[in-house]
Structure formats: C-alpha cells, structure tokens
Structure 1
C-alpha cells in the first residue's frame, strides 16, 4: 500500500466548529476524505469541497486513517465501539484511528484497547486552538501512542496546523492538553487582574495591552485575547464551564501525582465564582468582568480596533 502511505484515504468523524475546518484543510490539500457527522446537514457543505458523506461511522472502516473529533467521552465510545461504530465493521478496520477530542484518559485507554483488538493503531491527538486559529494555520497538536504509528501519519497531522509534537506513549497527550488548559485559565485570570489594576489607576486597557503585547511578557495568546478585553466582546471561543471541567481534570491529576498547584486551585475557585455569577455562555475572557466587579470598577467597551495577531497578514 505504498500509495496509501503517500496519500492516505481519510475518514473524519465529527464536523462541529473545529472538525469542519480541519476536515476542510485535508480536502484542500487534495486528500480523499469521507465524513460522518451525527447531524448530517452540518457535514453537507464539505461535499461541495469534494468530501463523501457517509451514514454511519462503520462506513469509514476501510479508510487508512480515521480522525474523531467529538464533544465528550461518551460520544467517542459511541462512534468507535457503539452500534455502527468505526471499529465494529465485520469486514474491515481502519489502519490508524486518531482521536482529537478532549476526553478522559480512561476512555482514551478503552478505545486504544478496542482498536488494538482490531489491528488498528490509535493515537491520542488533542489540539490547541479554535476555528480562527485553524484558519490562521496556527493550530497545535500533542500526540501520544506508538512512535511507529505516529511517524506513519505525521505528514497528515502536519496539514492541520503549524505544530505537531510527539509527547510519549499511551495517553500522556491527554495530560499535556489538560496542563495547557489549566495554564490558559491561570494566565487569563492574571491578565484580567493586571489589566483592571492599570485601568483603575487611570490607564486605558487598549494602551496597557498594547504595551504588554510589545514587551517580552506579551505572547501570541495575550495579543489574541486583547480585543475581547478591550472591547468586551465575549463571543465564545471557550466557555467558563468547559474551563472548569479542565481545571477539575488538572487538579485531579495533580492529586494523583502529588503535585501541589496552589495557583491553579485559586483560579479554579475564581472560575467557579464566575459561573455562579452567571457567566456560562460567554467566552472565559469574561473573567475580567468579575475582576472589575470585585475591584469596584465598571468596565465599558472602548470600541477601538485591536489587532488579534491572527489575521492572514500577521
């Protein structure tokens, strides 16, 4: 199957906001991609780009590489080993299954075992980014599993974004993703604190963040979040309840591994407070609203253009 190695036939399960964009990248790169989504209508626009739409995950069993990007651990179980799952076809099984969902280590291990029983390689490959990050080509991927399987599909993974890192065997990529998201929460809370401090002292948020972003402390992330903090646009990229779930997982892992995480624990409480105050649907950058309230400051949108660093020219 030399040709499959050169240009593997791909299956994609789950075309939500992220899955849709990533499947489109593989299509745009010229791959033969077949797609399953529970709500078929969400996958249909990919047909215009050349995708085949299938009715069941099992219809993807003959593919060289199948990606899964679903919402929860139970969904991953359903599309892999449940009725009509991609690992249940009597006549075929994918060469490699790559899961890019954010699921528990336990579920990941169960699916890995089920895949191995069918002779299918399994890679845990959680991603960092959102649809705009995908569009800018800046998605990053942490991958764990067999090194040999990783080496086989790395060229395909490289099409998804700018960074693919092999982090070790088995399920360790799950821990990498959780650690990343805990840092995301802690950094955002800290950013909210210093921005409100500057504002209460008479500095506009736009000016403060422009200075910060140009300093050594600025980052792709602080620049990317600046428009939300300046203009109070909390259109969700990642919500507070999802962040709380990742803090729970991170602090649970910390207990198991005997790693004290006082900053993460304090931030988890602040995230819980924000949820209690009703910040459920907005982006988690709304942490700045709670910080302002606790500081006796009323924030107003500054309504000025702020570069998020992700536009194509950047």
Structure 2
C-alpha cells in the first residue's frame, strides 16, 4: 500500500512539474522569441554590409577595338624589328608585348552628351565590380562616389598604339577621373551602347538592393584618366534598418589604379591603317614606313565640368 501511495505521489509530482514547466515556457515564450530575434539581428549586423570583389578585365579574352600598351622599359632593336614586322593585328600585338611587361590601356568609350555636360575624354582600364551581401536584412546602396587618393604624371618609357578597327562601346559604368589630384571625379555614367539611358548619371535613377536573399550585383567599370595616373577608391553610401552608412571599395586602405598615357615617351610606335608602323623617339626606324603620319600622343585638354 505504501508503495502504491509513493507511486501516486511521484506521478502527481511529475505531472505538476510538467505543468509548471509548460506554464513557464508559455509565459516566457514571447520574451525569449524577442530576445532570440534581437540576438539574430545583432549577429547579422556584425557581418560586413556587403563584400566587393574587383576583377581586372581579361584582355586575352576581351580585347578592345582600340588600345595602347605601356612598358616601363625600352624595346631592344630586335624587339622593335619583331614588333614592326607584325601586320598590326591587335591580338598579335598584345600577345607579343604582354610577356615583355606590357600593360593594356583602352581608349575610353565615347558617350555624348553626358547628363551633366561633362566633355572629358581620356583612356581607361576596365574592371568588373561584384557586390554581394550575406545579411538576412536588406540594404540599399543609393550612391557610389569616386575619391582620388593620389595622382602622378605617367612614367611609362615605351608606348605602342593600335588604332580602332571599327565602332567600340562597352556596357557598364564610366567614371571620369581626368585631370590631376585636385580635379574632382565625376560619375558614374551609364554606358549602354546608344540606349536612352546612356550618358545618364546612374544613381540619379537607380539604386542597388542587396541582402535579404537578393542576387549579387555585377558592374563593368570603365574609369577614364587623361594627364595623370591616379590611385583612387569608391565610397558606397547605403541605408539599412539602422540608418545611413558608408563603406569603402576596396576595403581597408586598398586602392584602384588607372594608368594614363605619357605625352613624351622615350619610344613611340603606332600602327597606321593601310600604311604600316610609324615610330618616334629613340627607335631604329627598321620597318617604320609610316613615321611621317604619326605624332606623339597628346592627352585631351581637361575641361572643368559645369556645376
């Protein structure tokens, strides 16, 4: 009998404990859910708002129509002879100069008129910019501004120019970095092959939505310079549930470099259509049948942008 009573007491105790725990869980469920949600938000905000990836354009696969190759050294007589023996095929010229230390500089896409009256034109080095966010909460990038860190006169010793073989235009965004360190950058402008939005300031009409399961955003960026090679970065302005913020691209103290063409290189080679190579400066003139038709490169004059 005592055993039965003890068993009943144990069962009742267990039921009482279960009921007490159940009532406690119910009474604290809302608070715990609220606390968990706040913790999740805090962890979410600890992540970078977004991650930016900058990838230089692969010119081996995507050769521009018109370009200039820069080298920090002079070509030997044998290398000059090998260059001027080429028939001017753009891919062959690049394939020959790249192993010698050549760096590609494009002729910037021509877009007219630009929305704010900008008429600057120069050369560019295109790259791809990818933006991605793993945050659960969404965010909106409503502006991106280019900031010059430093600019210097270009110092390449050898310049080789291949003129355009046809129409050229790249889709993406164009940033105007022409001029020296005190000249303010402008843009980004839309590059869209003659479409109505071409030449418009991108962020006057567009935003970039990231996070909350949104797909990554990929841009092709064409920054143009003229008289100066510039080190620069991008400041992205964004808003989220906590307010307005800024994030640097590249992160930390990283910079982007866009190289200009020197106006007085030691050696200058240019392929003149239907005439051959023209060569100026400290060159051998071997194979340079079109020298009378070329001049040293002159960067376009920098014009202040209205407003």
TM-score (norm 1): 0.21
TM-score by length of 2: 0.21
Structure (1 or 2) with the larger CA radius of gyration: 2
Question: Which structure features the higher share of helix residues?
Answer: 1
